[in-house]
């Protein structure tokens, strides 16, 4: 339902999925942030930001994570990166600078709204557009996300949906105003400094099957 206002109420019952304690999560985050800290900065109502970020219309802390390292990396760095013929896609080093990949897991069971299937999306008056829209439409997906939050208050502590850039995996956003303290914890595996030489080598190894690599000035 691209760019159409939400109805007064969902046509069905939003689908609840429970992510069990111990579920692995992989997160790309700013190096100055703790790996388990939620992003406290709302996106602009219209510009920039992510698919389901908070805005001034619905302020909350949020944390995005992938079910795999590939999902986390692809969602973070392959957004709207074009293919070049015949070479690989180039992820600018500026995009990687100051970023880490953290290895996390859920410390408790977490109930989220499932947006994994057509049936799940239909229950909230949507279709694949909600989880497949490109960044220039994120103002609309954020508005829909806020509407879904309102109609799943207080039980929905986040959303889960198929990764756009790695459809075999899923991604999750958690809401800081609904999750208990300590909802995510580090696994003990050291984080990868993606801007360092070793981290860049690791990142390029992960990106290679996606015909992408880090490039540009250091």
* pLDDT recorded at residue 2: 63
**C-alpha distances in angstroms, 158 versus 29, 31, 109, 187?**
18, 24, 12, 21
Length in residues, the chain: 218
* pLDDT recorded at residue 1: 58
Coil, strand or helix at 118: helix
Is the pTM higher than 0.85? The answer reads yes
The domain segmentation of the chain, as residue ranges, is: 16-214
Q: What is the DSSP letter of 176?
A: T
Coil, strand or helix at 178: coil
Residue reference for tokens 């994120």 = 138
Q: How many CB atoms lie within 10 A of CB 167?
A: 12
Q: Is the bond preceding residue 182 a cis peptide, omega within 30 degrees?
A: no
**C-alpha distances in angstroms, 159 versus 63, 109, 166, 217?**
11, 14, 17, 37
| Residue 108 Cα to chain centre, angstroms | 19
Residue reference for tokens 């990142």 = 203
* pLDDT recorded at residue 84: 79
Stretches in the chain below the pLDDT threshold 50: none
CATH fold, domain 16-214, is Diphtheria Toxin; domain 1 (3.90.175)
Q: Write down the H helix ranges in the chain.
A: 69-77, 93-96, 118-123, 129-132, 138-150, 197-207
* pLDDT recorded at residue 121: 98
* pLDDT recorded at residue 117: 98
């Amino acid at each position: 339902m691209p760019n159409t206002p939400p109805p007064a109420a969902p046509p069905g019952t939003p689908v609840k999925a429970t992510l069990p304690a111990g579920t692995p999560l992989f997160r790309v985050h700013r190096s100055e942030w703790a790996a388990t800290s939620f992003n406290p900065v709302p996106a602009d109502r219209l510009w920039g930001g992510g698919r389901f970020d908070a805005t001034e219309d619905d302020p909350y802390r949020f944390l995005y994570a992938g079910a795999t390292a590939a999902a986390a990396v692809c969602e973070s760095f392959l957004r709207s990166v074009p293919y070049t013929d015949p070479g690989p896609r180039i992820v600018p080093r500026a995009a990687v600078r100051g970023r880490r990949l953290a290895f996390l897991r859920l410390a408790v069971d977490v109930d989220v709204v499932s947006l994994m299937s057509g049936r799940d999306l239909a229950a909230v008056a949507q279709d694949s557009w909600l989880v497949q829209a490109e960044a220039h439409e994120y103002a609309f997906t954020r508005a829909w996300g806020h509407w879904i939050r309102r109609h799943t208050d207080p039980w929905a502590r986040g959303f889960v949906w198929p990764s756009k850039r790695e459809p075999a995996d899923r991604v999750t956003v958690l809401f800081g105003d609904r999750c208990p303290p300590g909802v995510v914890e580090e696994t003990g595996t050291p984080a990868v400094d993606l801007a360092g030489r070793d981290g860049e080598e690791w990142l390029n190894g992960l990106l290679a099957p996606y015909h992408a690599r880090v490039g540009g000035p250091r």
